[in-house]
Amino acid sequence: MRLDDQRRSTNVEYRTGGGGGGGMRGGLPLRMRGLGLGGIIIIGIILLIMPANMRNAILGQIMGGGGGAQTQSVGDSAGSAACPAGQEQSCQFFEVVLGSTEDVWGAVVQQRALPSYGATPATYAQPRLVVFFGQSVDTGCGTATTDVGPFYCPVDSQLYINPSFYETMARRLNAPGDFAQAYVIAHEVGHHVQNLIGATRLVNQARGGPQENQMSVRLELQADCLAGVWGNRERADLSIDAADLQEALNAAHQIGDDTLQRNSRGYASPDSFTHGSSEQRMRWFRRGFDGGDARQCDTFGVRDFRQL
Ligand SMILES: [Zn+2]
């Protein structure tokens, strides 16, 4: 994977400093609002490593909220902080990868080459990526701690990541590599695309019901597939090679629900899966990567969940 000479997105914001509070956009309430944290969609480890009480609060917020997939533009006018000293390489990485997703999804949306679940965007509204270095971050979905891992907040249309997650990936999850890291961002951007096409709303409507986990799995596998579509379309520009693909597939494997559950407690319970098995995550990423067509990422159109 090569990042030199690529366009860098200007939609990346850096937040340094301690925990919550500092660097907050003006006027955004700290309390949970709208979808609450439950609207947050994350890469895979959250429900396993999050304390049960916080998890319940999040799910409870969703069940009590009934807010649906509202999207608000919050704090767009806030200026981006500059890249922190000593972080230039990682800033380049975030800006180039996000920029490449903007190019891909801008074109795909313009071509209307996407599945649709009641919404067909005319243009691609670019999300912002907030790179934070502290222990917690204030978001339109509430305050999140670093433990949560990277996530997308549909309320403010922003992606959040603490770069320390990449160390977690490399060391604890055995998922190293720059393209594996890029896949994480592309997956979260996939959630933004899902927000634009109505998929997020479908899943939120199922919260609290018997289909909740299955709908979550459909959403997550679709985000993996959309990440694959991005990889396909950036193959030439970012010099993505076979080793890169293996990095992403390995990451998809390592963050599969069955693998995470087996590693943490020795066995897997498929009914509790929210992101899909390792095999599913690899297969859907691969599907997007091989075909490059987001319309092939219609996980919601697979009628029998067992065929997903
Ligand atoms: Zn996700």
Rounded to the nearest angstrom, the distance between the alpha carbon of 221 and the centre of ligand 1 is 8
When comparing pLDDT for 139 and 79, which is higher? 139
pLDDT at 147: 86
Ligand 1 centroid distance, CA of 305 (Å): 18
Q: What is the pLDDT of residue 7?
A: 97
Q: If you measure from the C-alpha of residue 192 to the centroid of ligand 1, how many angstroms do you get, rounded to a whole number?
A: 10
pLDDT above 80: residue 63? no
pLDDT of residue 288 exceeding 50: yes
| pLDDT of 77 strictly over 60 | no
CA of 44 from ligand 1 middle (Å) equals 6
How far is the centre of ligand 1, averaged over its atoms, from the C-alpha of 184 (Å)?
9
76 CA from centroid of ligand 1 (Å)? 23
Q: What is the mean pLDDT of residues 25-36?
A: 38
Residue 81 has pLDDT above 90, yes or no: no
Q: What is the pLDDT of residue 154?
A: 95
Q: To the nearest whole percent, how much of the chain has pLDDT over 90?
A: 77
Å from CA of 137 to ligand 1 middle: 18
Q: What is the pLDDT of residue 18?
A: 58
Q: What is the per-residue pLDDT for 148?
A: 86
Mean pLDDT calculated for residue range 290-305: 98
Question: How far is residue 113's CA from residue 295's CA, in Å, rounded to a whole number?
Answer: 6
Cα of 85 from ligand 1 centre, angstroms: 30
